[in-house]
Amino acid sequence: MSIRKFMERFPDEQACRDYLFQVRWPRGFICTKCGESKYSYIKTRNLFECSYCKTQTSTTSNTIMHRTKLPLRYWLLTFYWVASGERCSARKISKTLKLNYRTALLLLYNVRLAMYKGEYDAYFAFWIPNEPQTPHIVKKAKLRLLKKAERFIRKHYRHISERRRESYFYEFRFRNNNQHDPSTAIDKLTMYCSTTIYSLNEYRIKRTIA
Ligand SMILES: [Zn+2]
């Protein structure tokens, strides 16, 4: 999908909300607290109220976008940029979307966390030190990926915070696993970012993106 097609597909916030709803609840709304599927829609606040336990949920609550104040278009555009294989630094996002640099950093950081959780089962984490019983062939494969990832970071990002180095590995792994099919990559990333998280602590989501 070209950037132009993207803009046509998501002309406004409602289009983004409808799309994220479809991705998150493909078989219809399910209350994240009690599992009920009946709800009423509070149009003025874009909230879904569970008919059983009265919990109010938005399209983004308890996802990686929890309590975001950013337009959903910014999120979707970021998924698009990251997943389509383009270089996607916080500087580029802050410049293009006219966001403060720190907000752009946090936005990308959350997207990388979703990449980590989304691909967790399928591929092993090459940045985690080997156990003594790790087979030699696995050690070699991990080392090869680690070197490739370091090259990727050096090529795409000039200064990175050492504390967050690991999150760049998540991004590398996602890109590496999905590089041959950008359109599926975008769908996958959108799904990872819009699925329900049952424990926000697990994701280390402590602050929201203003
Ligand atoms: Zn409920």
**How many distinct structural domains can be found in the chain?**
1
Q: Tell me the per-residue pLDDT of 104-150, one tens digit each, with 9 for 90 and over.
A: 999 999 999 888 888 876 667 898 888 899 899 989 999 999 999 99
Both tokens of residue 145? 């990926």
Residue 23 is assigned to a structural domain of this protein:
yes
Residue 199 lies in a domain: no
**Cα 60 to ligand 1 centroid, rounded to whole Å:** 16
What is the pTM (predicted TM-score) of this model?
A: 0.87
H or E segment and range at residue 41: strand 39-42
CA of 26 to the centre of ligand 1 (A): 18
In a domain, 210, yes or no: no
**Residue 27 belongs to some domain of the structure:** yes
Query: Is residue 138 a part of any domain in this protein?
Result: yes
Ligand 1 centroid from CA 14, angstroms = 24
Which structural domain, as residue segments, surrounds residue 77? 3-194
Residues with CB under 5 A from ligand 1 (ion): 31, 33-34, 36, 50, 52-53, 55
CA distance 108 to 168: 10
Model confidence at 201: pLDDT above 70: no
208 located within any domain:
no
Task: Confirm whether 77 is domain-assigned.
Answer: yes
Task: Please check whether residue 128 lies inside any domain of the structure.
Answer: yes
Instruction: Measure 3 CA to ligand 1 centroid, in angstroms.
Output: 38
Torsion of Cα atoms, 112 then 116 then 118 then 119, to 10°: 130
Helical segments of the chain, H only: 3-9, 13-24, 72-83, 90-96, 101-118, 136-156, 165-178, 182-194
150 CB-near residues (< 8 Å, 6+ apart)? none
Q: For residue range 43-99, what is the model confidence (pLDDT) as tens digits?
A: 999 999 999 999 999 999 989 999 899 999 999 999 998 888 777 889 989 999 999
pLDDT of residue 122: 62
